[in-house]
Structure 1
């Protein structure tokens, strides 16, 4: 098991994935502990001086002008966590909560939050003990950061609240902490606020989504190539010189992938010199790189935004090295909300064009001599007819989910927080769009495999052979109808997994 070391300069996206999905251990570097102690010393000095500072000696939100006596400031921090842990709904996935906790450690470690080292260490201890707070899906507006979700995490540090059990059940946090040998912590001035005033939930979901989208966009090139091959399409629209004259980088990458995937195929060779072959393929075939490539370029933008956020101090107020404590708006999730919405739009269209190729493959009038619905015996058998219905329904859902969340602000906290980002909602629905895209590519994978099988005895490309082999155990050969849901689940697993891609890359080299 790998180890992620948190430095006062931050962490990488790979570190977040290692902790969220690989359960890597986390350690705080000595320099991080020093940065935390230096920042905390400034807050302690403010406490001794008795200066009014938001979140240290005042209430929160609309209560920012309410002075809190020194003897009640620890109570203030605990009350903050309890009152803000107000989420409802099903629990967020374990990987999202782990990412969120690590990212809060990262923000504290940058040394501008004024917390004691033991607070950051307490979050690290939860991660290393594999204790995951139960964080309800509803509660965050994306400003001031992900308050409610982070409060549910912080409440566990106090020995209160709930955690996820091994089977996803809800357990009381206190006994779980005791069983792991961990003790609740007592918060000091500002520490409760520092634990919850961040964009860590939406950023965690965005980083996970970026990793998923990068893989799915490559798999979209694979399934597009399979469909084009099965439909006797042309590989000429994917020649590099045709994309060099429209220099969008993502388009060139997708075109190069598809062109390579279509080589060394008897199916493709069978119609290269056929004068009756279509002069131009349909848009869903010919324009595959233009759509998938635009999605890749969108992903590159989103990756840049997430990288900037990963280097950002997201707290309010922040403690500056010169001793000032200043209020900021850096907790506002607009950059992440916009990015998540943009990527959801792009991913929805990658799925939409895939469904159009599926429909074409199944239509006897457009599939270039393939049998109706890809069954050798249409009429008695329906083949993949209803698989396309499923795909169409998912495309419709993705279109609804592609409507931006980030334009839907609602004022809160007595109009003190009068514009919010909805970044949490944007990131959460992005993950749903990507899960739906996995299903859409699975249907295209299955349809492409069936079409290639029906072109026998012509042998397909290396990608076609690998795809047929990957589904052979559940899909079998074209024939009488079978229970289709398990086959579609297996196709989903094949798209989500990196195994098919790895097999293809062994044959034709790396895909971008």
Structure 2
């Protein structure tokens, strides 16, 4: 039986939002939210009837805010704004992101400050529940005044315009609505503006980034531990006493996980008395580097959850006599942490590339390029070229979009966040990290094989065995792109982390990090 979530009254988290999008949880509007929605809708109708000037209800938009709109034209004004603001370009955003946009928009509007009709929210929920997802172009939002262009495309189907995805097919929205016996909505005063004024494009990219970045950070610790074993590194730098005297949350968490992953390893025990004084930074400083990125993730998650439960349109309707034209639609509160997270994510790839290079150097008893017959075979020389290329590509993506602003709307909107670009760039960086981690996994598994017959811990060995079920030990040169793609699949489909978690549970090893969860 599905759990339920009450739009407008319950507290929404990243995890719950993703569960609604996945169909694991059903979002509903309960009686309390219904009353709040109806009261706000009634307030808007009273404003129109009393001819009290309120932005976007009976005035034009942007620089046309001083242009009065007659009572009989207030509905036409709202459908016009959806059409005129649908100016997005580029390929469609992922359907999951578009679905998250609808979920987060319903939750914001259902809090009763936006002056929207209950029937409009019910139609959006119909799209969510039936997985009929509007086509939304990826580019065109400046991240202030709301994500105007993408949200306009998202809600064109409400008035039987635009396109939708249904069962993998891209179709005209009007055709799909007709098939399901639905008529286009006639939007009332304020509804069009309420639909497109908000941060749901930026927010939905942030929601998905919180999930993907979390997985990338978990893999960084796991694959980093495998690399350390292959390089016969020390676990002493992960002693909790060291991190208790510099107690950053992320650093302590990573040190604890690395120590837990490696404690009891035969490989580690075999060189406790060696004369190596200390390891290179890419091994020794994993708690500090991975941990700093984890702190950035924590900050992004915290601010994303605040935004998830916020009202971000304009004007805000407290009652018919109390409306405020403010700036809750401005994307800066998320744009800055998204840019911060982009740099933090890029560093996870940067340090992984250094470990790949370290494993190929022929140090610490490993053969040069991790092959017995270097010369005739190039071994693992060139995969590190790919990590180097991806690391540099990520660096170029780290320029903060939020550091730029181009005035719009004839100067009325003279500072914008560009947070929509921040959100998309973060995902590009994570895409590259997934490939970098696949390559580090290739190196780490190969390096560990040169330590046989010594074994690592149950979790590390389970992950090594998973790799070897899909990628053979490298004896001679072959098309390494095939190996990288096989490991990339294990990373992106969740197999690697699932294998690690199952092994941890089976051997009663605690890898939990509840304070860092998404629910």
CA contact (8 A) 1:319 1:325 kept: yes
Distance 2:228 2:465 in 1: 18
Q: CA deviation at 1:302?
A: 1.3
2:458 counterpart of 1:457: no
SS in 1 for 2:221: helix
Q: 2:288 aligns with which of 281, 287, 290?
A: 290
Deviation at 1:426, TM superposition (A): 0.4
Give 1:65-464 correspondences, 5 Å limit: 65-167=66-168, 170-275=170-275, 278-321=276-319, 323-364=321-362, 367-464=363-460
CA distance in structure 1 between the partners assigned to 2:482 and 2:470 by the alignment: 8
Q: 1:387 to 1:182 in 2, by over 3 A?
A: farther
Q: 1:159 to 1:195 in 2, by over 3 A?
A: same
Distance 2:410 2:219 in 1: 48
Aligned to 1:90, the other structure's residue is in SS state strand
Q: Which stretch has the larger CA shift, 264-273 or 49-58? A: 264-273
Q: In the alignment, what sits opposite 2:466?
A: 470
**Greater alpha carbon shift after TM alignment, 15-24 vs 211-220:** 15-24
Q: How well do the aligned residues superpose, as a CA RMSD in angstroms?
A: 1.5
SS of residue matched to 1:36? helix
3-state DSSP of counterpart to 1:320: strand
Q: 2: CA distance between counterparts of 1:432 and 1:216?
A: 13
Q: Distance in 2 between matches of 1:156 and 1:240?
A: 55
CA contact 1:92–1:136 (8 Å) conserved in 2: yes
Moved over 6 A (4+): none
Question: 1:36-63 deviations in whole A, cap 9, x for unaligned?
Answer: 1010111111111111111011100011
Equivalent residue pairs, number: 507
Deviation sequence 1:165-199 (CA, Å, 0-9, x none): 534x5321111122233322110111000000000
TM-score under structure 1 normalisation? Answer: 0.96
Task: Report if the CA contact (8 A) 2:8-2:29 is conserved.
Answer: no
8 Å Cα contact 2:44-2:320 kept in structure 1: no
Offset at 1:510? 2.2
Gaps of 5+ in 2: 514-519
- Structure 1 residue runs of 5 or longer lacking an equivalent are none
In structure 1, C-alpha distance between the alignment counterparts of 2:25 and 2:190, rounded to whole Å: 29
Please list the CA deviations of residues 379-398 of structure 1 after superposition, one character each: whole Å capped at 9, or x if unmatched: 22222222111111110011
- Please say if residues 7 and 28 of structure 2, whose CA atoms lie closer than 8 Å, have aligned partners that are also in contact: no
What does residue 499 of structure 1 align with? 498
Aligned-pair distance for 1:311? Answer: 2.1
| Displacement of 1:9 | 2.5
Q: What is the rounded CA distance, in whole Å, between the counterparts of 2:25 and 2:175 in structure 1? A: 24
Instruction: Describe the superposition over 1:211-240 as per-residue Cα deviations: whole angstroms up to 9, x where unpaired.
Output: 221222121111111111100111111111
Residues in 2 aligned to 1:412 and 1:198: alpha-carbon distance in whole angstroms = 17
Please, what TM-score do these two structures have when normalized by structure 2? 0.95
Residues 127-176 of structure 1 show CA distances to partners (whole Å, capped at 9, x for unaligned) of 11111110001111101111111100110111110112534x53211111
With 298-307 and 389-398 compared, the bigger mean Cα shift is at 298-307
Deviation at 1:322, TM superposition (A): 6.6
1:410 to 1:401, Cα distance in 2 relative to 1, 3 A: same
Name the SS of the counterpart of 2:411 in structure 1. Answer: coil
Contact 2:37/2:117 (8 A) holds in 1: yes
Report the CA distance between 1:3 and its aligned residue: 4.6
Distance (Å, rounded) in 1 between the aligned partners of 2:230 and 2:182: 59
Residue in 1 that maps onto 2:517:
none
The answer to whether the 8 A contact 2:9-2:32 is kept is no
C-alpha distance in 1 between matches for 2:380 and 2:23: 36
C-alpha separation in 2, matches of 1:21 and 1:295: 27
* Contact 1:154-1:195 at 8 Å conserved across structures: yes
Please state whether the residue corresponding to 1:34 is helix, strand or coil.
helix
SS at match of 1:137: strand
Of residues 482, 501, 504, the one that matches 2:478 is: 482
